[in-house]
Amino acid sequence: MKIRLTSVMVDNQTKALAFYTTVLGFVKKTEMPIGEHKWLTVVAKDEQDGVELLLEPIGFAPAQTYQKALFEAGIPLASFSVDDLDTEYNRLTGLGVSFSMSPTQMGAVKLAVLDDTCGNHIQLMQVL
């Protein structure tokens, strides 16, 4: 069993695609119209055949409630691995990304949490 696809709920697919590609550095893998929305995925630049991240439109009211509750509680919806968290944090803050938690060592990992501008907190993690 393998994970090939996972998703983040986003309030605007166009805005999400811009943030996840231009700011975070992912690359667009798939964009197919499906009704009023798209099947829109991104992948890591250096693992383009790896796990896809679906930028899933959040049109379902219970999902909107869930996303809002997680955001207000400061709970990340997803976690992404980075090789050097301090470098990535400095790069992203230089691009204007807002962090609710700056790089913090917690045992054998270092964590930071950013606002993806699409309704989610995203955790960045470096294994030390």
pLDDT in tens, 37-94: 999 999 999 999 999 999 999 989 999 999 999 999 999 999 999 999 999 999 999 9
How many Cβ atoms from other residues are within 10 Å of residue 61's Cβ? 8
Q: DSSP of 54-119, one letter per residue?
A: EEEE--SHHHHHHHHHHHHHT--SEEEE-S-HHHHHHHHHHTT--EEEEEEEETTEEEEEEE-SSS
At 59 the pLDDT is 87
Q: Are 121 and 71 in contact (CB under 8 A)?
A: yes
CATH 3.10.180.10 describes domain 5-127: yes
Domain-wise residue ranges, the chain: 5-127
pTM, two decimal places? 0.94
